[in-house]
Amino acid sequence: MISELYSTYSWWWLAAVGAGGLLYALLLYFKNPASRLSVKISALLFVIRFLSISLLLFLLLTPFIKTRLKTIEKPIVVVGVDNSQSIVLSPDSTFYKTRFKKDLANLVTSLKEDYQTDLYHFGDQVREGSNPGFTDAKSDYSSFFKTIKEHYRGLNVGAIVLAGDGLYNRGSDPLYTTSEMSWPIYTIALGDTNTYSDLKINDVRFNKLVYLNDQFPVEINIKAEKLSGKKAVLKVNAFGKSLEQQSFLIRGNTFSKTFRILIPATEKGKHRVTLTLTTFDNELNKQNNRKSIFVNVLDSRQKILIVAAAPHPDISAIKQSLTGFRDYKVEVQYVKKLTAKPEDYDLVILDQVPCLNHNPAAWLKKLQNKKIPRLYILGKLSNLNEFNKLGAGLQVIGAHNTELAQPIVNSMFNLFTFRKEQIATLESLPPLTTPFGNYKSAENAHIFAHQKINSLDTDIPLILYHEKEGVKNAIIAGEGIWLWRMHNYLQNSNFDAVESLLGKTVQYLTAREDKRHLKVISKEEYLPGDEITLEAELYNDSWELINNTETELWLTNEQGKQFKYSFSPYDEQYRLTLENLEPGVYRYKAGAGVGDKRYTDKGEFVVNTTSEESRKLQADYSLMYRLASENRGRMIYPKQMDSLPNMLQKNQNVKTRVVYSYQTRGVNDIWYIMALILFLLSLEWFLRKYFGSY
């Protein structure tokens, strides 16, 4: 530790400090006719006064001490354990529930002697822990690695130790997630790679949203191992009755077959479709012989019209994103051949319309008169002068060129929610091509995202929402949504961020004003292991939230059995946690009384069936091996865990790091400096009084 003294003023001021202290002492003790002290005592008091005044004047120079600190950081070893159910669904379940836990605890204890060791479990979520229970219904390796990269960025991470069976059913490919990691990864291969006799429903393809009186297809892929020559039956039950039963012969030790079944949607609402396969006595895993899927039967689609200035890849990207929601029917027309009637649609998307070559003013006027909500997308072909006249909530004045702008999501936006991971994805997507001009948004506009131009955050709106005279508008002030969709998939192997933004935009624009006094809030689907929590909001006649009256809920299962619950007040709302619900479709009705009025609300949700962990139990050691070999580590087995500390010691990348930092401290904050000044002044006063001076 090295300390140096600094001052905010030039050190030449020390001469003035000394002169000030000397002058003050001379005036008081040099040839003072009023003094009755001896020469020796006067000299002593002269020195004391000189020192105390000089120190006080020195503090006026605001001196400070800068200290160089040396910190030795032990390497960090992060241990992650797959906490999913597939680990203990193998024949070695007893070993993993008992012996493995002890060996893991011993490994962590051994590592802590030389390293900072942090233990995590991952499955449904990533969390710190000390004793894995292997109870999670999902397995997400990529989420674990993303969490570690975020939490330990810039720290002295020596290595990551990953214990798992290589089976994941959530998130992206862990090899892709770790491709840019600089830390070595050591893997502990858990689970069982042996093949056992098994007949299972391997995959089911279906649409979750279907329409009343339609026939919707369900594709069922079944697989069989080591059951050659056996006869089996696939049964399909839906809408309270048996719809299909097909027999088949299993040919060969490895067998696969796909069935395509059409199911008529005869009742609206959420319904369960149950798929059942024959079970055999010698099967190790019988949970995967049965699967339930849930469909939501709607009785109408919302119609969306895209009016485009010219063919553009954005049109296809928007249509694909919205068609994926299934409850939207999307049509496309070009402005020069526009024949659609505005009143036939729930929403109109105007892609660069009005445009430079054509302005359908009469059609747009009719659209306004019919109060049809609309989404404007601006681009190179947009006629901004005509657009500015529409009162959409944004004006772009004096535009004469284009520029590239990325979105920066506004943290104060509150029209709808957008998940943190989706925000991060959206802000990393390529820039849109936006008009270059002066932007002026309406005072009551809600800005979802501002423009980031050349790495500079601005307050220029990129995506905003506006409501005027009961008509909702949204504006995306740039073209290039097709690039967003493509890069979203390249990053995350899905289109979630872009589809969620467009879906929530359409949902907001087409939503009717909710006039319910009692609103029950629930998810549409709960997975195994999820906490089933319902929330309720109750409003009085002044539309103020209240929670001082009893609010009840009646829950009905598929068999018609009814259960009664009471909500508990929580903040300004109500909350109810439901426990021990069997998989199935549940319909609810809630009721509350306010004064002499009675308010109700109703809805439904699904509790899904067996977790995906039981679908596949054969461990994927090839993934565990590649994770280790491609990240400068090694794969070992549970019985070799005690050799891991020695491997880490031999790895030259796992080493102690010396970090230097600086600490600054003002001299006037040092207590003993102030104590010294106080002591000198007190000593001078005492000596003067003691020797009889004035």
CA distance 197 to 91: 13
pLDDT for 137-150, tens place per residue?
Answer: 788 999 999 999 99
Q: Do 571 and 587 reside in the same domain of the chain?
A: yes
Task: Using pLDDT thresholds of 50, 70 and 90, give the confidence band for residue 271.
Answer: confident
Domain assignment present for 612 = no
Domain assignment present for 82 = yes
Q: Do 186 and 322 reside in the same domain of the chain?
A: no
CA distance 320 to 486: 12
Highest mean pLDDT, choosing among 358-367, 514-523, 657-666: 358-367
Task: Using pLDDT thresholds of 50, 70 and 90, give the confidence band for residue 652.
Answer: confident
* Domain stops at, among 275, 298, 321: 298
Is residue 340's pLDDT more than 60? yes
Long-range contacts of 438-443 (CB under 8 A, 24+ apart): 438/396, 438/397, 438/398, 439/394, 439/395, 439/396, 439/397, 439/477, 440/394, 440/395, 440/397, 441/393, 441/394, 441/395, 441/466, 442/393, 442/394, 442/466, 442/468
Is residue 36's pLDDT more than 70? no
Domain assignment present for 384 = yes
pLDDT of 479: 97
Residue 546: other Cβ atoms inside 10 A: 17
How distant, in Å, are the alpha carbons of 408, 617, 620, 639 from that of 626? Answer: 37, 19, 11, 20
Cβ proximity of 393 and 441 under 8 Å: yes
CA distance 25 to 412: 63
- Mean pLDDT over residues 263-281, rounded? 89
CA distance 654 to 77: 9
- Average pLDDT score over the chain: 88
Q: In total, how many domains does the chain have?
A: 5
- Please report, in angstroms and rounded to a whole number, the separation of the first and last CA atoms in the chain: 48
Q: Do 342 and 454 reside in the same domain of the chain?
A: yes
Q: Do 466 and 538 reside in the same domain of the chain?
A: no
CATH of the domain at 290: 2.60.40.10
Nearest by Cα to 190 from 90, 290, 258: 90
Two tokens, residue 239: 């809408």
Q: What residue numbers bound the domain in which 109 lies?
A: 75-194+618-655
Q: Do 483 and 583 reside in the same domain of the chain?
A: no
Domain assignment present for 24 = yes
Cβ proximity of 541 and 361 under 8 Å: no
Q: Do 373 and 461 reside in the same domain of the chain?
A: yes
Which comes out higher in pLDDT, residue 200 or 691? 200
CATH of the domain at 497: 3.40.50.880
CA distance 20 to 402: 67
Cβ proximity of 295 and 338 under 8 Å: no
Q: Do 387 and 450 reside in the same domain of the chain?
A: yes
Task: Using pLDDT thresholds of 50, 70 and 90, give the confidence band for residue 87.
Answer: confident
* Domain stops at, among 271, 298, 325: 298
Task: Using pLDDT thresholds of 50, 70 and 90, give the confidence band for residue 458.
Answer: very high
How distant, in Å, are the alpha carbons of 244, 527, 566, 675 from that of 670? Answer: 86, 60, 61, 9
Domain assignment present for 418 = yes
Is residue 540's pLDDT more than 70? yes
Q: Do 473 and 433 reside in the same domain of the chain?
A: yes
CA distance 309 to 352: 6
Q: Do 412 and 479 reside in the same domain of the chain?
A: yes
- Mean pLDDT over residues 513-519, rounded? 80
Is residue 208's pLDDT more than 70? yes
CA distance 503 to 505: 5
Q: Which of 394-398, 627-631, 690-694 has the lowest mean pLDDT?
A: 690-694
Is residue 316's pLDDT more than 80? yes
Q: Are strands 518-521 and 532-539 parallel, antiparallel or unpaired?
A: antiparallel
Q: Do 487 and 540 reside in the same domain of the chain?
A: no
CATH of the domain at 157: 3.40.50.410
* Domain stops at, among 466, 485, 510: 510
pLDDT for 462-508, tens place per residue?
Answer: 999 999 888 899 999 999 999 999 999 999 889 999 999 999 999 88
Q: Do 190 and 336 reside in the same domain of the chain?
A: no
Domain assignment present for 613 = no
pLDDT of 43: 82
pLDDT of 589: 95
Domain assignment present for 628 = yes
pLDDT for 410-439, tens place per residue?
Answer: 999 988 888 889 999 999 999 999 999 999
Two tokens, residue 161: 């130790």
Q: Do 489 and 532 reside in the same domain of the chain?
A: no
pLDDT of 35: 63
Q: How many CA atoms lie within 13 A of 206 on its CB side?
A: 29
Task: Using pLDDT thresholds of 50, 70 and 90, give the confidence band for residue 9.
Answer: confident
pLDDT of 694: 55
Highest mean pLDDT, choosing among 181-195, 203-217, 516-530: 181-195
- Mean pLDDT over residues 595-599, rounded? 90
Question: How many percent of the chain have pLDDT more than 90?
Answer: 49
Is residue 211's pLDDT more than 60? yes
Is residue 242's pLDDT more than 60? yes
Locus of tokens 């012969």: 249
